[in-house]
Amino acid sequence: MDAQKVAAGDYTIERLIAQQSMSKPFPSSHIPLISTPPMQRTSNRSSSTSSNRNAKAMLLGGLLACGTISGAMADNWPQWRGPKNDGVSTEKNIATQWSPKENVLWRCELPGQAGATPVVWNDRIFLTSSEGDDLVLIAVSTKDGKKLWQQKVGSGNQDARAGEGNSASPSPSTDGKHVWCFFGTGILACFTVDGQMVWKLDVNDKFGKLDIQFGMTSTPVLDGDALYLQLLHGPMRRDDNTRTGKVIKLDKQTGETIWSVDRITQAEFECKHSYASPFIYRDGKQEFLVVHGADCITGHKLSDGKELWRFGDLNGPTKINPKQSDPTFRFVASPLVIPGSIIVPTAKEGPMVALNVSDALQGESSAKSDVVAWNIPRTPDVSIPLVVDGLVYVLHKDGKLQCLDHKTGQEIYFQRTYTGQHRSSPTYADGHIYFASNDGHCTVVKAGRDFQIVSTNPMGEAITASPVVADGVLYIRSYQALYAIKKQ
């Protein structure tokens, strides 16, 4: 959250002041298994305790001046990559070791597998899942792991890559009043936090039939009163140069299109396909939407979608990527977007590039040397990078963790963690980096220049979702269940 959103009225001071209290944890010797969901509903919001307007104004002014509004909302994890969309939590005293009988508050069994990362707002967790052929949205209580409600949103679930993913791969988002969910089939819907559908649409009908090999797994970004989507796809035929690149802004309340613009590229074959997600760049001076895929990364004006800048040449052979052109160079890993910097992963054996966000980043920027902070020859293929305290952490799909100096790109270490495939993205909390392997091993690494594995925690269940931290609790979503983990 930032001052602009507060000034625009997206957040009231009452919601900033409100405090969320956690229920007492279950004894470590007993883990409640929730398999039959009672359909009760509970309040999702604590009441405001202050009635003095002057006190509220003073508190708000202090929050704005000190830049601590994000901290005031740190109990919530409203989108895939957290409160600031960077994978960083400000929570403290987070568990670093757990087992089925240690530090687990509860386990909520889920109706089917999915890779969508949960989102948290006060006493509710929202997540999407498959249930056979159906695609569903679920609300779970943070207090005891009981399902509050489950709604069918669509059908036609499709598994991808031998079970590594399915149509419930994009993550939901919430503003505490509504929840938005998107599925790889193209269904996008809005529900109240109590499970009432507000609107639903099919992007196939509104923006053209999706043609992407493993389903549209891009997660829409929620910002202010809008949802932003990137739909980059096209036929995977060598003799067919037809391609679709759409960048879209929707009214979050109604689902109506505010604008939709074509994103023209020369990508061919599988390079047309992007599984990456868009992000909002904002640094107090400028703001734009970042879209990643089809051999390039672009910035778009929030008001009308106009392309502000483009950085291409990511598929070789170019100065940025000297390797031969790869017709299967599809992007899966999303860019990391933080003030002053955009870290751009590519695919497979391609490079990773750090861009400086400055006045030079405008128009065609591929050949501008002052735009590139650094360029290294190794990229994560799936996981989004993470930056904490001047260090970049890069999780590679084989379990190796790379640490770089954010300013220079100099490698500090490149070490193996758990040997196994990794599709989750790393999360930072309280001095530690958390991530999980496909076969369910959760690794905790100490943040800093010295590589140290703090723990490896086998869950015994497949995991492709990213770890989430909210209100002192670590949430891990496996293909079978949702876990709440807390020091006891």
pLDDT band at 75 (very low <50, low <70, confident <90, very high): confident
pLDDT band at 44 (very low <50, low <70, confident <90, very high): very low
- Average pLDDT over all residues of the chain: 88
Strands 411-416 and 427-429: unpaired
pLDDT digits (tens, 9 = 90+) for 283-296: 999 999 999 999 99
The answer, yes or no, to whether residue 39 has pLDDT greater than 90, is no
Strand partners, 244: 233
Strands 427-429 and 279-282: unpaired
The answer, yes or no, to whether residue 33 has pLDDT greater than 50, is no
> Position 320: which residue type?
I
Domain ranges of the chain: 3-485
pLDDT digits (tens, 9 = 90+) for 169-212: 999 999 999 999 999 999 999 999 999 999 999 999 999 999 99
pLDDT band at 101 (very low <50, low <70, confident <90, very high): confident
The answer, yes or no, to whether residue 14 has pLDDT greater than 60, is no
Q: Identify the CATH class of 3-485.
A: mainly beta
Cα–Cα distance, 414 to 410 (Å, whole number): 11
The answer, yes or no, to whether residue 162 has pLDDT greater than 90, is no
Which residue, among 168, 34, 58, has the nearest Cα to 106 in the 3D structure? 34
Please tell me the predicted confidence (pLDDT) of residue 160: 83
Please tell me the predicted confidence (pLDDT) of residue 161: 72
Please tell me the predicted confidence (pLDDT) of residue 38: 35
pLDDT digits (tens, 9 = 90+) for 218-275: 999 999 999 999 999 999 998 898 999 999 999 999 999 999 999 999 999 999 999 9
Whether 386 and 426 have beta carbons less than 8 Å apart is answered as yes
Cα–Cα distance, 150 to 135 (Å, whole number): 10
